[in-house]
Amino acid sequence: CVCVCVCGMDERKYNLKLEKLSFPKNGADPVILVACGSFSPVTILHLEMMQWAKEALEEKGYCVLGGYMSPVNDGYGKASLVPAHHRVAMCMLAAQSYSWITLDDWECTQPEHQLTLPVLQFFQERVSQIGDDRCRARVLFLCGSDLFDTFVIPGVWEIGDVKEILQRGVVVIERAGSNNVTETMAKLPQLRGDERPYVVHTVPPHRSNNISSTVVRKALREGKPVQGQLSEAVLSYILQHGLYEAKASF
């Protein structure tokens, strides 16, 4: 494990979970996927999107060493958030069936809400200090095209943050109801000639991907079936702890 700290953030020692992080293959560009979000609750689609991204990148010649889910801090203040310890537990349960995906709780255990760019910077610094070949990996931000759309909505993101996130690298999973990724990219902040180019990988969905945590929460409240949307382990946890006013659906 590796311990690092970043100025302006919680300086407690933090152990990066490396158990599921593989080693790079010769000649391949090593990358690590990081998905930030509420995960309230984590759905099957959250994990499938990570799998689709991994497969698409590897077809392009990248070596995906692993992926991390990073639940947002409670300080985000979204009404639908259940406390972080529940979201962490659900993500851990959901990731159990994937050999390469890990839950990381650094973001959600900070004293206050963290913006996306500092989280990605923290991951990259931790990775760069791993004491073996895995330290060469670049951290890529994974998101759906619905979130990618918000990059061009005035007031939602700091322009400087958007530019750096895109320069570091983003993998966008296309989602129903979102704008075309190419159209959104045309509206992104313009780069000067001396600036690093944007790195955006667009990945089409492998199946209908209209599953959302919002839809799942509504179904849980109404006692409707959620098979194919939540793993059995996550659903059992929700019912056991009485989250989302859930009524047993099976």
CA 116, chain centre distance (Å): 10
CA dihedral 124, 11, 113, 231 (to 10 degrees): 60
Nearest to 17 by CA among 98, 105, 96, 109: 105
pTM tops 0.85, yes or no: yes
Q: Kindly report, residue by residue over 133-188, the tens digit of the pLDDT.
A: 999 999 999 999 999 999 999 999 999 999 999 999 999 999 877 888 999 999 99
Would you state the pLDDT for residue 248?
67
Q: Kindly report, residue by residue over 32-86, the tens digit of the pLDDT.
A: 999 999 999 999 999 999 999 999 999 999 999 999 999 999 999 998 999 999 9
Tell me the torsion sign for CA atoms 22, 163, 103, 216.
Answer: negative
More confident residue, 2 or 191: 191
pLDDT at 8 over 50: no
What does the block give as tokens for 181?
Answer: 């990724």
Half-sphere exposure of 11 (CA within 13 A, CB side): 2
The number of beta carbons lying within 10 Å of the beta carbon of residue 9 is: 18
Distance CA 248, CA 250 (A): 6
Would you state the pLDDT for residue 178?
80
Would you state the pLDDT for residue 1?
34
Supply the DSSP symbol for 170: E
Nearest to 100 by CA among 21, 23, 33: 21
Q: Kindly report, residue by residue over 20-37, the tens digit of the pLDDT.
A: 999 998 878 999 999 999
Backbone angles phi, psi at 96, to 5 degrees: -60, -30
Backbone angles phi, psi at 137, to 5 degrees: -70, 145
Q: Which residues contact 236 (CB under 8 A, 6 or more apart)?
A: none
CB 119 within 8 A of CB 109: no
Over range 207-217, report the average pLDDT. Answer: 86
